């Protein structure tokens, strides 16, 4: 039986809802062509900036594994260990815009029906820098990019007005989105950092600026482990390390929690989910919470650099799911997207053996400690 894997997302038609996220798998023309050959519905380019980038000495990304016997987390390879996470301190693309522009055109010419999203990033401290965002947006869309993803989430930026520092500042989120929307002729997605107390605040700001979708999560800020023998960080340069980003299985539940907040606050908006996806079961959690597309990085890095087996499994898992649920009348993703969004509720709404006298562990309260009304919790205030 043939099934319909396609989705419409921010007005774009996708053959399937699975994208490679902005990261090493999408850092070159040859990788992206291989990814489309392998069957990915879309690709988000490694983030493109205007200014040269030089990465640190040595490895820019590594994998952390955990052992069943002692539950330790370490980058050291050992038998029987399972993947825990990826850890990276890689900056944005070290290739300039001039390098990317003709390649975007060639990739689109080779795969006109696949979706190519250009991830872009600049500073945001003054009008000149806002103009940089516009320059990047105009150049990428002129070469045929289908959408723009604004990187408000790179965790490695020292400057207060770049990367995840934009994603922590609702004013900057709004201003940069608005600046890009002023010149964009294609949809604009904003990729937010999860490193903020209430991601709904920054998402609302992006929507105020005109964003067509929110993407979450980028990697979570984290440090590598300190080796108990050498007392050195497992990844370091001259003994020094800076805060890096963690991805992969370890962030899946964290990222789902961020996504649930987002989709509950904005049930009618478009969301692309990322974090810890390696097969359809994980993608399904994001879709059931309301995501229209999902993106993958760590699992693809570990599978021939662009994830040919990962996309095969994702597509096969979706096909199998649709076939099993044909009797429910589900023919495509749109038929079940978001059906578990409203199952995330306040602790007090969960049934318990003895409801009598339950008051969440405190006396009846007034004023400051009064629980928030539902509409404030949902971010609608
Ligand atoms: C080595 C590495 C480099 C990355 N570079 C970028 C980047 O340039 N731009 C971006 O938006 N996200 C970047 N990311 C974040 C990923 O796109 C993704 O959001 C994150 O890894 C979580 O997904 P995962 O759990 O599937 O790995 C990078 C991740 C890794 C591991």
Mutating to test ligand 1, I would choose from 53, 194, 219 the residue with most ligand atoms within 8 A of its C-beta, which is: 219
Report the alpha-carbon angle 270-136-125, nearest 5: 90
Taking Cα atoms as reference points, which of 336, 129, 319, 154 lies closest to residue 245? Answer: 154
**pLDDT at residue 381, as a whole number:** 42
pLDDT recorded at residue 380: 47
Segment 319-332 mean pLDDT:
97
- Summarize the confidence of residues 38-55 as an average pLDDT: 96
Residue 97 CB partners (closer than 8 Å, separation 6+):
48, 49, 50, 135, 136, 139
pLDDT at 356: 65
**Structural tokens at position 361:** 């562990």
Which is catalytic among the residues 140, 154, 173, 206? 154
Nearest residue CA, atom 23 of ligand 1?
275
**Res 361: pLDDT:** 67
What is the token pair recorded at 41? 């519905």
* Known active-site residue 206: no
Provide the pairing of β-strand 7-9 with 12-14: antiparallel
Q: How many CB atoms lie within 10 A of CB 310?
A: 26
pLDDT surpasses 60 at 375: no
Distance linking the first and last C-alpha atoms of the chain: 47
Look at residues 88, 185, 99 and name the one whose alpha carbon lies nearest to residue 137.
185
The average pLDDT across 31-40 equals 98
Tell me whether the omega of the peptide bond preceding residue 217 falls within 30 degrees of 0, making it cis: yes
Which H or E element spans position 316? helix 308-324
372 pLDDT exceeds 80?
no
Question: For 39-52, what is the mean pLDDT?
Answer: 96
* Residue 378 CB coordination number (10 Å): 15
Confidence check: pLDDT of 350 > 70: yes
What tokens appear for 152 in the block? 């408000």
Which residue owns the Cα nearest ligand 1 atom 6?
23
Overall pTM surpassing 0.75 (yes/no) = yes
* CB-based contact 62:75 (threshold 8 Å): yes
Dist CA 306 CA 210 (whole Å): 32
| Percent of the chain topping pLDDT 70 | 93
- Encode pLDDT of 154-206 as tens digits: 999 899 999 999 999 999 999 999 999 999 999 999 999 999 999 999 999 99
Spatial CB neighbours of 292, under 8 Å, sequence gap ≥ 6? 7, 8, 9, 17, 213, 270, 271, 272, 333, 337
How does the average pLDDT of the chain come out, rounded? Answer: 94
CA 215 to CA 330: how far, in whole Å?
Answer: 25
Tell which wins on pLDDT, 184 or 371. Answer: 184
Of ligand 1's listed atoms, the one at least distance from the Cα of 47 is: 8
* Ligand 1 site, CB within 6 A: 21-24, 46-47, 61, 86, 88, 90, 92, 119, 151, 153-154, 191, 218-219, 247-248, 251, 274-277, 296-298
CA distance 340 to 195: 25
Q: Tell me which residue has its CA closest to atom 30 in ligand 1.
A: 23
CA distance 274 to 282: 10
Beginning with the edge strand found earlier in the chain, give each strand of the sheet holding 61-66 in spatial order: 73-74, 61-66, 82-88, 244-247, 220-222
**Pair 357, 38: CB distance under 8 Å:** no
* Beta strand spans in 37-107 (E): 42-44, 61-66, 73-74, 82-88
What local confidence, expressed as pLDDT, does residue 366 receive? 63
Question: Rounded CA gap, 348 and 77, in Å?
Answer: 44
Averaged pLDDT for residues 345-358: 81
6 contacts: CB under 8 Å, gap ≥ 6: 13, 14, 15, 16, 332
């Amino acid at each position: 039986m043939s099934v319909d894997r396609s989705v419409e997302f921010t007005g774009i038609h996708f053959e399937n809802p699975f994208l490679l996220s902005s990261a090493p798998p999408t850092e070159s023309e040859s990788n992206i062509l291989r990814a489309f050959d392998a069957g990915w519905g879309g690709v988000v380019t490694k983030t493109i900036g205007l200014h040269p980038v030089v990465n640190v000495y040595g490895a820019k990304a590594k994998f952390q594994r955990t052992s069943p016997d002692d539950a330790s987390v370490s980058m050291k390879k050992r038998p029987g260990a399972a993947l825990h996470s990826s850890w990276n301190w890689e900056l944005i693309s070290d290739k300039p815009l001039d390098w990317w522009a003709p390649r975007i055109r060639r990739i689109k010419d080779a795969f006109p029906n696949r979706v190519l999203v250009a991830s872009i990033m600049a500073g945001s401290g003054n009008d000149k820098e806002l103009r940089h965002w516009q320059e990047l947006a105009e150049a990428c869309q002129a070469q045929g990019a289908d959408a723009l993803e604004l990187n408000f989430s790179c965790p490695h930026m020292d400057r207060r007005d770049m990367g995840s520092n934009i994603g922590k500042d609702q004013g900057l989120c709004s201003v940069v989105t608005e600046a890009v929307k002023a010149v964009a002729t294609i949809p604009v997605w904003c990729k937010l950092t999860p490193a903020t107390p209430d991601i709904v605040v920054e998402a609302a700001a992006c929507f105020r600026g005109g964003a067509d979708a929110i993407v979450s999560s980028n990697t979570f800020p984290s440090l590598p482990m300190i080796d108990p023998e050498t007392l050195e960080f497992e990844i370091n340069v001259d003994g020094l390390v800076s805060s890096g980003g963690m991805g992969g299985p370890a962030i899946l539940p964290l990222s789902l929690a961020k996504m649930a907040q987002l989709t509950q606050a904005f049930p009618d908006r478009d969301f692309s989910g990322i974090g810890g996806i390696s097969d359809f079961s994980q993608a399904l959690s994001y879709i059931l919470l309301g995501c229209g597309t999902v993106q993958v990085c760590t699992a693809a890095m570990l599978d021939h650099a662009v994830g040919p087996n990962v996309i095969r499994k994702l597509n096969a898992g979706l096909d199998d799911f649709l076939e099993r649920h044909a009797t429910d009348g589900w023919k495509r993703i749109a038929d079940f997207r978001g059906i578990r969004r409203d199952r995330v509720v306040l602790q007090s709404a969960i049934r318990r053996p003895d409801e009598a006298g339950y008051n969440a562990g405190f006396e009846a309260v007034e004023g400051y400690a009064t629980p928030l009304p539902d509409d404030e919790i949902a971010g609608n205030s």
